[in-house]
Amino acid sequence: MPFPLSWLRSQTAFSRFEGAELAGWPIATFVRGRFVYAEHDKVNEPCTAPIDYTLG
């Protein structure tokens, strides 16, 4: 099945993957341990805490 642009949750108007044949597609997404997407639908708000990259 060709990759339709409508599946991409992005603000860009194009994707280099549009029309590409894919072997699979994620069915769920977790952000910092929180279940946020399932089967192309948002089920929770992702947590948006900043990441601290300082070493110490």
Kindly list the averaged pLDDT for each block of 10 residues, start to end, along the chain of length 56.
73 78 81 80 72 75
- Find the helix or strand (DSSP H, E) in which 42 lies: strand 41-42
What is the pTM for the complete model shown?
A: 0.41
Which residues pair with residue 35 across a beta bridge? 30
CA distance 23 to 15: 17
Q: Report the sign of the C-alpha dihedral through residues 6, 40, 17, 15, in that order.
A: positive
CA distance 21 to 44: 29
pLDDT the model gives residue 41:
73
